Structures are given as C-alpha cells and as structure tokens.
Structure 1
Amino acid sequence: MTVKTTLSFTDRHHQFLSEKVGQGLFATQSAAVAAALEQMMQDEQERDVALSALAQEIRARMETPREAFIDQDDAFAAARRTIGSARDV
C-alpha cells in the first residue's frame, strides 16, 4: 500500500535528492526517501539485536562466580607475549 504525504526538505537535502535521481541511483525522490527510511529501519533493528546480545552477555557475566574470574594479567598475557615477539623481530 502506498500513502501520499507531503514532506519538506532543506535546500541542501532537496538538491541532494535531485542529484541522486538525476544520476539514476533512484527512479524518484520518493524512492530515495523510502530507501533512506529502509536503511534507518535496518540500522535500528541491528542496534536492537546488538544491545540485546550485549545485555544478555552482561547478565551471564554477572552470574559468574568470583572464583571463576580471570586475573587481568593472565587474561592479557598471551597478547603481551605476541606483541613482545613482534617487537623483537
């Protein structure tokens, strides 16, 4: 279903839309705006998924008992060795 609406743009935005249509990237200015909205919707969905995964990881880590924690020196030891070896070359 298509809905007609009226939108207002700054001169800069209108010029950009007109250029993209003129370059053949979009059939119409409406198609360009629709593509931008689709991208915004996709970005929002991806952000929601990422935030949900992050929240889930934080919850899981909060349930980790203290005795299972890894000392920061141990956690980064392998990386430090790799960096040290690379510097020696």
Structure 2
Amino acid sequence: MTVKATLSFTDRHHHFLTEKVGQGVFATRSATVAAALEQMMQDEQERDVALAALTQEIRARKETPRSAFIDQDDAFAAARAMIGTARGV
C-alpha cells in the first residue's frame, strides 16, 4: 500500500534529492526518501541487535567470579606484540 504525504525539505536536501534522481540513482524523489527510511530502519534494527548482544555480554561478565578475571597486561599482551611487530620494534 502506498500512502501519499506532504513533506518539506531544506534547499540543501531538495537539491540532493533532485541530484540523485537526475543521476539515475533513484527513479523519483519519493524513491530516494523511501530508500533513506529503509536504511534508517535497518540501522535501528542493527543497533538494537548490537545493544542486546552487549547487554547479554555485560550480564555474563557480571556473573564471572573475580578469580577468573584476567590481568590487563595479559589481556592485551598479544595486541601489544602485534603492534610492536608492525612497528618493527
């Protein structure tokens, strides 16, 4: 279903929409706006997934006993070695 709506744009945004249609990137200005909205929806969905994963990881780490903690020097030793090798140190 298609819904007709009236939208207002700044001159900058209107120019961009018109330019993209003129370049053949999109068939119409409406298609350009629809693509932007789809991208925003996808970005929001990906952000929600990432935040859920981060929340789960934080909860899991909160349950980790202190005896299982890793010393920060040990945790970053491999990364420091790779950086040193890359720098020729």
Question: Deviation of residue 72 (structure 1)?
Answer: 1.1
Question: Partner of 1:59 in structure 2?
Answer: 59
Distance in 2 between the 1:46 and 1:74 partners? 32
State yes or no: 1:21 paired with 2:60: no
Question: Deviation of residue 65 (structure 1)?
Answer: 0.5
Q: CA RMSD in A?
A: 1.6
State yes or no: 1:35 paired with 2:35: yes
Distance in 2 between the 1:21 and 1:88 partners? 50
TM-score normalised by length of structure 1? 0.89
TM-score normalised by length of structure 2? 0.89
Distance in 1 between the 2:32 and 2:87 partners? 50
Distance in 2 between the 1:63 and 1:83 partners? 32
Distance in 2 between the 1:56 and 1:31 partners? 37
State yes or no: 1:80 paired with 2:62: no
Paired amino acid for 2:57: E
Question: Deviation of residue 87 (structure 1)?
Answer: 4.7
Structure 2 gaps of 5+ residues are none
Question: Deviation of residue 84 (structure 1)?
Answer: 4.0
Matched residue of 1:30: which SS? Answer: helix
Structure 1 gaps of 5+ residues are none
Question: Deviation of residue 63 (structure 1)?
Answer: 0.3
**Identical-pair percentage:** 84
Question: Partner of 1:47 in structure 2?
Answer: 47
Matched residue of 1:26: which SS? Answer: coil
Count of paired positions: 89
